[in-house]
Amino acid sequence: MQLEKDSNFLHDYYLSSRSEWLETNGRGGYSSATLAGANERRYHGLLIAAGTGPTERKLLLSKFDETIICSKGRFELGTNNYGDTLHPQGFSYMKHFRKVLFPEFLFEAGGVIIRKTIAMIQGENTLVLIYDVVQADDPFQMEWLPLLAVRDHHQLTHANDAVKEEGQFNNATYHTKLYESSPEV
């Protein structure tokens, strides 16, 4: 089934936050969120990994908040709902959403047009994010802020002092283990 939405729909947070997409890996893991880019339910997340049992799942990566940095400024593409505040409001930069095979978001900000594609690898707890530069008036940089949770997908995470803050880069891949008992991300 093909799903497409234009900027009129996407810029209306009420509508776009009530429409969802879902990607699965064929073994119980998934990736899911709203078209607005906000996680509105505890079951939303970029990487929910399947465990050994049929119902065992861990939300490892809640989301990435991406930022385009160019001569025209900083443009935050993420969207987070804090109850009484939406910050940032990246849904306002969305031009198009479609899901034919994989969810694809088209963002336009500061003279830069980026296509973000989200895919799960079948049979693996692996998420692939592809960022294609469709157009750029000038050179730009991107920042990615990973929001890690590492929790049972039925639970919620609360502030705690048990989180380990260290991580390492190996072969252009970032690795971290937030808790002693958690899997490496």
Over residues 50-74, mean pLDDT: 91
> 91 has which bridge partners?
none
* Residues 119 and 23 sit within 8 Å (Cβ to Cβ): yes
* pLDDT tens digits, one per residue of 76-89: 999 999 999 999 99
| pTM, entire model | 0.91
What is the C-alpha to C-alpha distance for residues 70 and 83, in angstroms, rounded to an integer? Answer: 30
Other C-beta atoms lying within 10 Å of the C-beta of residue 49: 24
- 89 beta partners: 79
Query: Does the pLDDT at position 165 exceed 80?
Result: no
Instruction: Please write the tens of the pLDDT for every residue from 89-129.
Output: 999 999 999 999 999 999 999 999 999 999 999 999 999 99
Averaged pLDDT, 46-63: 89
Residue from 90, 86, 26 nearest 64 by CA: 90
CB 116 within 8 A of CB 130: yes
Alpha carbon distance 104, 183 (integer Å): 28
Collapsing DSSP states into helix, strand and coil, what is residue 14?
helix
